[in-house]
Amino acid sequence: MIRNILFSAMLLLALWGTARLAHHKTDGLRLSKFVNNTPNHLLNFEEGSLEEILPLLGQNFTYFGRGLQSFSFLGDDGETVLKLFNNRYQRRISFAHWLPGIYPFKARKRALLRKSEFKLNRTFNSYLLAFEQMREETGLLFLHPQRGEGLPTITLIDKLKISHPFDLNKHAFALQKRADQVYPYLLKLKEEGELTKAQDAVKSLVELLRSKMEAGIGDNDPLIRTNLGFDKGRPMQIDIGPLYLNEALKNPNEQLSELKKITLSMKHWLEAHFPELVETLDEAI
């Protein structure tokens, strides 16, 4: 009896360890995470001309990284990023619908539905806002939030270098320009002795943040280290969201307060790695 229990426990532990190892090796990427990754309702949205982006889709896309909202794949051209939306919220909504609507599940079901639907809508609303009002600032080339037609089946290459055919018509995705993250970009300019270019980069980055506020657009995750970058010297918001409309941000005093908070971590980084730019940052704010 004890031997059977120990064997079962060891087997479960081995299975759990295998699953965790597979997750680590693949970064949690599974094609099943893109099934039904569209919104639960139709969007009144014009995604743009297919003719302009079809040439970009005639290449392979290799796993590049992941965030909370999506998995990213880099095109062979090294300049185009395909973001496939994670269906985590859709899966939670499906699970919530499966729960019985009786005690003790009723309250849990209602809370899970409310929270998951809110986050799902927030994600897509953020991308719609960016595509309609900040396309240049976010480097968005194309947004396909719901099922459609006319798109090709492309090849995705995962972290293990395994190729997968992928029908874009059935999935929600975004195409975005690739950008270098802020701190590596500034360090590269420092190594090249390009102080003036680095100063201009800091000024333009602050101006991007300010212009977003002047348009009344807020950001729940304005982390400069990972969410902003530069595309051929131009500042760009890499991570799109969650963005939202906030008229209060049009107030200059509110902008100043927000800019100081958002750039504080950058100021600390500059003090440690590129102190020549601290004064430039302060003056730009």
Query: What would the pLDDT profile of 76-89 be if each residue is shown by its tens digit?
Result: 999 999 999 999 99
For the chain, what is the mean pLDDT? Answer: 90
Instruction: Clarify whether residues 269 and 184 are in a common domain.
Output: yes
Question: Any idea what the CATH number is for the domain that residue 232 is in?
Answer: 1.10.510
Tokens of 111: 């809370």
Domain region containing 208: 180-284
Q: How far apart are alpha carbons 136 and 12 in whole angstroms?
A: 50
Question: Of the candidates 152, 177, 202, which is a domain's last residue?
Answer: 177
> Tens digit of pLDDT for each residue in 124-150?
999 999 999 999 999 999 999 999 889
If we measure between CA atoms, which residue out of 113, 134, 213, 222 comes closest to residue 176? 134
* Backbone angles phi and psi of 251, in degrees to 5: -75, 125
If we measure between CA atoms, which residue out of 115, 120, 119, 112 comes closest to residue 96? 112
> Tens digit of pLDDT for each residue in 21-69?
444 456 888 999 999 999 877 666 666 678 889 999 999 999 999 988 9
Instruction: Clarify whether residues 151 and 200 are in a common domain.
Output: no
Q: Helix crossing, 195-214 with 252-273: angle to 10°?
A: 150
Instruction: Clarify whether residues 68 and 171 are in a common domain.
Output: yes
User: Is 23 domain-assigned?
Assistant: no
Question: Of the candidates 127, 154, 177, which is a domain's last residue?
Answer: 177
